[in-house]
Structure 1
Amino acid sequence: MVGLVSLVSVALFASSIWALPAARHSPPEGPLKLPLPDPGKNNLFCVVPFPVIQKLLCPRQGTSSQTTVTTPLGTAHGVSDTDGAARFAVKYGSASRWQESSVVSSWELPNGATDPTALPLTCPQNTTADSTMSEDCLSMILYVPPSVQSGSGAPTLMWIHGGSFIVGSATDPGLDGSALAAATESIVAVVQYRLGALGFMDPSGNTNLAVKDIVTALQFLQKVLPSFGGDTSKITLAGQSSGANMIRALLAVPSVSSLFQSGILQSDTMDYGFLNMDIQQTLQDFFNSQISCDPSDSECLSNLPLDDILNASQTLSDDGGDISAAAGLAEPIRPVNDGSFITSPLDSTAPFPQVSKPILLSTVLNEAMPTIYSEFTDPVDSSLYTTVVNVTFGTPRTERILTTAVYEVPQQTAAGTTVDARPQLSNLGTDQVWRCPTWTFARNWVQNGGQVFVGLYVVGATYPGNDQIPACLENGAVCHEDDIEIVFGTVPSPTSAQAALTQEMQARYSAFLRTGDPNTGSFAKWTPATTDDVHPLLLGGSGEASVGQCTTSYWGDFVQYDYQVFDI
């Protein structure tokens, strides 16, 4: 068996680097030389007539007036947007470096700000300027529409951003929750959490700090939601990519089950599984070797330069698959099944626990396309295709995959034509990492007591970064992250199909937040999954998706998932 070299081994491009505003990373054609905005302050690019730049650098413009709400933690200062929603940026938790977080004792604006229009600095990550990030980053942004402010008992959707656990923030493009809050008549809370080694690699061995940050955020909401008209028993966790992975981790934490009622998981990379303690220890030992402090020297660790930590974290992220084949190359830093906090792998490697929460699972049509077409910018011939599959899957999975019609080696169809196996690689990666393990998870959830609704987006909106990938711009393509702006209602100049799907998804989410069932109005019947048929609804299309190779006898059986191969 060759070490795990996933088809999405460069998923940092698909689910993290490309998730950032253009000014934070370097696209293939070279870096975009623009200064980063100072959160909460006017910026030159916010007043020039370039909509794309405004969208990337100025996602929260148009505030009109200040507003206050009295909470048990003190007076909340916010601003009312032009659409009427009130936005409150707040620090929800405090934590010393590599210590567990706790709920704040008083209402504070993020990062010591005095202006309620100020937005939180990001958690430390290698792709942002020092002036835009801070270790004091446990903040969230609450969006509260007028219909909720004047009433009580509204549900809350708490959104957890993606970014492969190493990048991202509550202010990423498209995450302005004003429209979503107004459409669903709910409170939308967009939360950020510690990333990379700061969130998962405490040198002393304590892990899952980032997951526990989300628990702290939930505990904060329990204290303040009634002041904004919210019902603390109606909190739904929602997130995309690693944000969805975070929700799956919390579903495996019995001690926090009472803090939320349901989950919405979009494009979770379920093939990877959680890490086990043996893999985590191997990664932890490597990380500790990269820093100049003894794990027991708390003073040294506290004074360690942030750049040293970020560099060591990046090295671990880059080399994770070489350090431990089971960790993989895509997300070697991720939640850990430690047996005490997270108590189950929630996959097919161990008995599945009894569950009860309703969940909604979705993937998009071309999840792996950004990765494949970024890694392979030229056509992939038959020989290279075979090599890639073999290096990725080893024996016996390669032989089984290549004898399957939809994944078999493409043949030249006419003299002079060029074989291009990238479509096969994209389909294979989508099935392997996202679609099929998600459907397997759905079956397991139903079999053990829960209700699940499964969807597949066949209409999307090109997310910033994906517009650098020609394949993602082709008619009908829906790439990883292209569902985000649909859900939030932040698509710039939406087509009629995009506008219709946004209206549908926001109506379905509104119903799900209240009842655990996304069926509402005159929209097509969304049938809940069973152990035999997951009934994947085509979101933006008509009817249900074909099963393809996501059957109980193929992925997870005839061809095992990575979490099965490596017993993680």
Structure 2
Amino acid sequence: MSDGARPLVTTCDGVLRGSLEGGVASFLGVPYARAPVGPLRFGAPEAVEPWDGVREAVAFGATAPKRPYAPPLDALLPDPDVEGENCLNLNVWAPSEGGAGSRPVMVWIHGGSLVHGSSSVPVYDGAAFARDGVVLVSLNYRLGIEGFGVFPDAPANLGLRDQLAALTWVRENIAAFGGDPERVTVSGESAGAISIAALLASPLAKGLFRRAVLQSGAPTALPLERARRTTEAIASHLGVEATARALSAVPRDRLLDAQTAVTGKGSPLTGGHSFQIAIDGEVLPRDPAEALRDGASAEVDLLMGTNTEEYRLWFVPSRLTERLSRLALRVALWRTKVPSRTTRAYRANRPGETPGELLGALATDKLLRVPLNRVAEARPTGPGSTYVYEFGWRSPVMGLGACHALEIAFVFDTLDRPEAVALAGPDAPRELAAAMHGAWMRFAATGDPGWRPWDPSRPVMTFGPGAPTLVESPREDERRAWDT
């Protein structure tokens, strides 16, 4: 129904009034759980209290408490900050006409190392998906210590529980927006993809989605005691007990300052403190990589892949590609337990690359390409199909190349946004965006993005440079060099 030119939708919690532009209805800042404040700050998400009358849904809702990216990444990865108490909100973009509960649905979970990001990032605008017939939902979830702290007196994985609550909301309400609750694809990039891998292994997510997309994020999680160390370090920095009760009494700005101080230099390569999903025995009973290899969510269609030069987003702005010495490279490879035969294979294929570039290529494959290949290897007989891609178009901006996060604007078909231009430049190929966006659309609608599913020949659809091309077993000698 509509109120003049303004679309109205009745959900289980009440009536929403959104916006209409170009045949796309949008509903922004819709609460899917109660505000996580007071006693709920470190508690599991609770159901929204229904409202009377019509609720306006025309502006993005509050973002989770966070700090911006440090320079120079803040210029490459804009991270809007919207004030407000209830960060547990989502957005819906849907075709304004027809559907009647029959359209495919895609739910987007943003990345940001579990400490950055939100659904209001302009590149994540869902209008192009709705324009082409898919209902797009994007969501916020708690970040940092409020989302992924580990305490003796509060549930673990609160951010993951938030995502489950949002998916439950989609299951119960999406038909009112024209979406089919039986055709939900959950998709995400980086920490969003890592979250989805955990959801694939979680018994609490059964029945909430039919398909999944993992962009530049592999299944990984830590045992509860190891995941607790970051929380303990932040509490020690503040001089308080590592409990939810003690930390809830710390002013939020002070807590965020301590979180930044403790985690600011941590990374998967260098170690240090960072927030990770925890194997908590409830939301996530076991290691997600093991669970997926053992057949968890085997019925779910899966599309996953990486960017060829993921590492360049971090290595180029910091000039690590230029500054890393041969000695530092040897130390890094020893600390991260990269086999010497693996290093030899990569070095032989990259005779002109610097030690920093060699380390980056090894890191990209160790952390992303190889783990995702192993998941694909474990799923060749279904019943869910598996598809693998690689994004290789190289951005000219700062020499970033085919870096982490570059593919997102191509998937969303939002290359015209200034925030996309900051990372991809003004001349990024629109035809490649059309091809990639179309593949994601087809996958959401049918489970088939348009190329051969994974089989022993290891088919990988490469998006750039040049036209999309199906390649069998790309860089197989390097991949095999990781096998023990």
Q: Structure 1 pair 346/178, CA: closer, same or farther in 2 (3 Å)?
A: same
Give the match for residue 315 of structure 1. Answer: 261
Verify: 1:85 aligned to 2:24, yes or no: yes
Give the match for residue 289 of structure 1. Answer: 236
C-alpha distance in 1, partners of 2:428/2:470? 16
Aligned with residue 144 of structure 2, among 181, 189, 196 = 196
C-alpha distance in 2, partners of 1:339/1:137? 26
C-alpha distance in 2, partners of 1:130/1:552? 38
Give the match for residue 517 of structure 1. Answer: 448
Structure 2: 5+ residue runs without aligned partners?
A: 70-78
Aligned with residue 357 of structure 2, among 423, 430, 434 = 423
The count of corresponding residues between Structure 1 and Structure 2 is 455
Aligned with residue 300 of structure 2, among 347, 350, 357 = 357
User: Residue by residue, what CA displacement relative to the aligned partner does 1:325-354 show, whole Å, maximum 9, x if unpaired?
Assistant: 99934x820211223221232325996234
Aligned with residue 459 of structure 1, among 382, 393, 402 = 393
Aligned with residue 391 of structure 1, among 332, 339, 344 = 332
Q: Structure 1 pair 146/459, CA: closer, same or farther in 2 (3 Å)?
A: farther
Give the match for residue 133 of structure 1. Answer: 83
Give the match for residue 268 of structure 1. Answer: 217
User: Residue by residue, what CA displacement relative to the aligned partner does 1:126-146 show, whole Å, maximum 9, x if unpaired?
Assistant: 228997334520111100112
Q: Structure 1 pair 491/409, CA: closer, same or farther in 2 (3 Å)?
A: closer
SS at match of 2:213: strand
**Cα RMSD (Å) of the superposition?**
3.3
Deviation at 1:205, TM superposition (A): 5.2
SS at match of 1:174: helix
Give the match for residue 164 of structure 1. Answer: 113
SS at match of 2:437: helix
**Equivalent pairs: percent with the same residue?**
25
Assess if the C-alpha contact under 8 Å between 2:106 and 2:137 holds in 1: yes
Give the match for residue 529 of structure 1. Answer: 454
C-alpha distance in 2, partners of 1:345/1:196? 21
Give the match for residue 72 of structure 2. Answer: none
C-alpha distance in 1, partners of 2:295/2:386? 15
Deviation at 1:484, TM superposition (A): 0.7
Q: Structure 1 pair 529/403, CA: closer, same or farther in 2 (3 Å)?
A: same
SS at match of 1:544: strand
One-letter code aligned to 1:100: A
Deviation at 1:304, TM superposition (A): 2.3
Aligned with residue 284 of structure 2, among 335, 342, 364 = 342
Verify: 1:280 aligned to 2:227, yes or no: yes
User: Residue by residue, what CA displacement relative to the aligned partner does 1:57-111 show, whole Å, maximum 9, x if unpaired?
Assistant: xxxxxxx953212223211110112x221110111112321101023132699xx
One-letter code aligned to 2:256: L
C-alpha distance in 1, partners of 2:378/2:192? 21
Give the match for residue 40 of structure 1. Answer: none
One-letter code aligned to 1:75: V
Assess if the C-alpha contact under 8 Å between 2:60 and 2:82 holds in 1: no
C-alpha distance in 2, partners of 1:537/1:351? 22
Deviation at 1:391, TM superposition (A): 2.4
Verify: 1:375 aligned to 2:375, yes or no: no
Q: Structure 1 pair 349/552, CA: closer, same or farther in 2 (3 Å)?
A: farther
Assess if the C-alpha contact under 8 Å between 1:402 and 1:409 holds in 2: no
Q: Structure 1 pair 108/309, CA: closer, same or farther in 2 (3 Å)?
A: farther
Q: Structure 1 pair 237/297, CA: closer, same or farther in 2 (3 Å)?
A: closer
TM-score, normalization: structure 2? 0.84
C-alpha distance in 2, partners of 1:75/1:407? 62
Q: Considering Cα pairs closer than 8 Å and 6+ residues apart, tell me whether 1 or 2 has the greater RCO.
A: 1
User: Residue by residue, what CA displacement relative to the aligned partner does 1:520-549 show, whole Å, maximum 9, x if unpaired?
Assistant: xxxxxx11112x333111124323165325
Deviation at 1:297, TM superposition (A): 7.5
SS at match of 1:198: helix
C-alpha distance in 2, partners of 1:130/1:357? 33
Deviation at 1:490, TM superposition (A): 0.7
Verify: 1:442 aligned to 2:376, yes or no: yes
Deviation at 1:252, TM superposition (A): 0.8
Aligned with residue 399 of structure 2, among 471, 491, 502 = 471
SS at match of 1:93: coil
User: Residue by residue, what CA displacement relative to the aligned partner does 1:421-447 show, whole Å, maximum 9, x if unpaired?
Assistant: 343233222222222222122112336
C-alpha distance in 2, partners of 1:529/1:282? 38
C-alpha distance in 1, partners of 2:250/2:104? 42
